[in-house]
Structure 1
Amino acid sequence: MGHKSRVLFVCVANSARSQMAEALLRHIAPEQFEAHSAGTRPGQVDPRTLAALEELGISTEGLFSKSLEEVAGEPFDHVITLCDKFALECHALPGAGEYLAWDFEDPAASSRADAYRHTLHEIHERLRMFVLVKSKR
Structure 2
Amino acid sequence: MRAAPAGLTALPGRPSSVLFVCGRNAIRSPMAEVVARHLFPASLYVASAGVQPGDRDPFVDAVLEEIGLSLGDRRPQALADLEDLNFDLAVTLSPEAHHRMLELTRSFAIEVEYWPTFDPTGVVGSRTQILDAYRDVRNRLEARIRERFAPEPRAG
Q: 1:31 Cα shift?
A: 0.8
With normalisation by structure 2, the TM-score equals 0.78
Structure 1: any 5+ residue segments left out of the alignment? Answer: none
Scaled by the length of structure 1, the TM-score of the pair is: 0.88
SS of equivalent to 1:79: strand
2:29 equivalent in structure 1: 18
Compute the RMSD of aligned alpha carbons. 2.0
Alpha-carbon offset, residue 72 of structure 1: 5.5
Counterpart position of 2:152: 136
Q: Please give the per-residue CA displacement for 1:66-96, whole angstroms capped at 9, x wherever unaligned.
A: 0101226241011000112331121123335
Structure 2 runs not aligned, ≥5 long: 1-7
Matched residue count? 135
> How far apart, CA to CA, are the structure 2 residues paired with 1:22 and 1:28?
10
1-structure distance, mates of 2:44, 2:73: 16
Identity value in percent: 33
**Counterpart amino acid of residue 92 in structure 1:** E
1:82 aligns with 2:109: no
Greater gyration radius: 2
Is 1:99 matched up with 2:117?
no
Correspondent of 1:125 among 143, 148, 152: 143
Q: Does the aligned pair in 2 maintain the 1:79–1:96 contact within 8 Å?
A: no
* Runs of 4+ residues deviating >4 angstroms: none
Task: Give the 3-state SS of the residue equivalent to 1:49 in structure 2.
Answer: helix
Distance 1:125 1:70 in 2: 28
Tell me how far apart the structure 2 counterparts of residues 73 and 89 of structure 1 sit (CA, whole Å): 15
Q: Which has the higher strand share?
A: 1
